[in-house]
Amino acid sequence: MTRTKRTYEDYVNLKYKPKKTDLICKFIVTTKKNIKEAAGAVAAESSIGTWTHTTTIKSYMLNLAAVVYQIKKLSPKAFLTSIAYPNELWEPGNMPGILSGIAGNIFGMKEVENLKLVDVIFPKNIAKSFPGPKYGIGGVRKITGVYKRPLLGTIIKPKIGLNSRDHAKIAYEAWAGGCDIVKDDENLVSQTFNKFEKRLNLTLKSKKKAEKETGERKMYMINVTAETKEMLRRAKLVEDSGNEYIMVDIVVTGWSALQTLRNEDFKLVIHAHRAGHAALNRVENHGIGMNVIARLCRLVGCDQLHIGTVVGKMFENRESVMKNVNALTDELYGVRKTMPVSSGGLHPGHVPALYALFGKDVIIQMGGGIHGNRLGTRLGAKAARQAIEAVVNGVSLKEYAKTHKELKSTLQQWQ
């Protein structure tokens, strides 16, 4: 056999020690086949190999082969597999190109029953080829003027159907009650009953009114998700209006559009909604881990990202949510940290658990937990703010509720 003729198992070398310049991927490979053959297939098909020997492979290409360097058995058919990819395989600054390699055709191969990309470790030159967040946690703190507690946000509910005027009124009530942030939900874009421009103008008037009355900075995250050129147009409208924030649905918009949005370098905080992530992540042994999406989102340049709740309505457990947080906040060659956002089925009674999990550097977003409060939106927001005040000051919600009637009523409603 010539040196250029390679089987899938030739891509396995358990003695290989990864280089600092390698891009490392960790996969859970589920297979009935020989694990070396299955893992080697993943490495081969995402680098220089294919299902059969080709006469076109050259000896100078061999150093571009991905290498399976670690295999750990998790169950009779599932294996945690680590693969090192040579640096030269990747075009710096091209996230779609990178994903086409590490998360492309390999998910559909017969050699694997299931395949889950559970982590990606980037070498310095690739990580630094992306801009990262423009603001990150520190910048968000500076813009909001809130430094010592979690930020309190709400999502306008119902998520879709309100006209622009009622949307703006509800936003005002939430801000007046104590919310720092109001945001659109993921599927509110520019429908006939609530056009983008009208919603922007009316809601910003509510924002200014609430700021004047409360003496606090208020933030509006308007959803600019659209075809890329239209999304850029809307972002420019937001910037020109003097607003500080935009929101974008990152999974459905796509990495190319997200890179374009960030690279325009608007003076805007980018709030990333993860709508659609569970289609990639929810199956335990197949797809792409949310922590991987989080790390890519951070590199591309989002300032805030939804990470799950543990205690709310979302499916993730504590371990997976904390992996998401770590992907946003660990040391990454000096790239700014992305602010975690906890959202999904939350109410004021969840605040102690959320604070214990995430500390102060988190945005706690309650939709139904504010607008579903029997006291109404304004007092629902007030109760949520009281819950945050209590935990930051080390007081139990039960004790704080003795002197704060809004919190007392809310705890009786949901606990």
Show which residues are catalytic. Answer: 157, 273
Neighbours of 325 (CB within 10 A): 22
CA 311, distance to chain mean position in Å, is 18
| C-alpha to C-alpha distance for 239 and 124, rounded to whole angstroms | 32
Give the three-state DSSP class for 24: strand
Both structure tokens of 72: 């750990």
Ramachandran sector of residue 52 (left: φ over 0; alpha: ψ -120 to 50; beta: rest): beta
Residue 220 corresponds to which tokens in the numbers above? Answer: 């509006």
Q: How far apart are CA 175 and CA 184, in angstroms?
A: 14
Alpha-carbon gap, residue 228 to 394, rounded angstroms: 46
What is the Cα Rg of the chain in Å? Answer: 24
- 89 CB-near residues (< 8 Å, 6+ apart): 23, 47, 64, 66, 101
Torsion over CA of 357, 316, 104 and 295, rounded to 10 degrees? -10
Look at phi and psi of residue 86 and say left if phi exceeds 0, alpha if psi is from -120 to 50, else beta. Answer: beta
**Tokens of residue 272, six digits:** 């990333």
| DSSP structural state of residue 336 | P
Amino acid at 364: I
Phi/psi at 135 (5° precision) = -115, -50
Instruction: Give the strand pairing for 114-121 and 287-288.
Output: parallel
Identify the three-state secondary structure at position 228: helix
Task: Say if residue 76 is preceded by a cis peptide, omega within 30 of 0.
Answer: no
Torsion of Cα atoms, 374 then 377 then 380 then 381, to 10° = 180
Which candidate, 354, 357, 267, 331, places its Cα nearest to that of 303?
A: 267
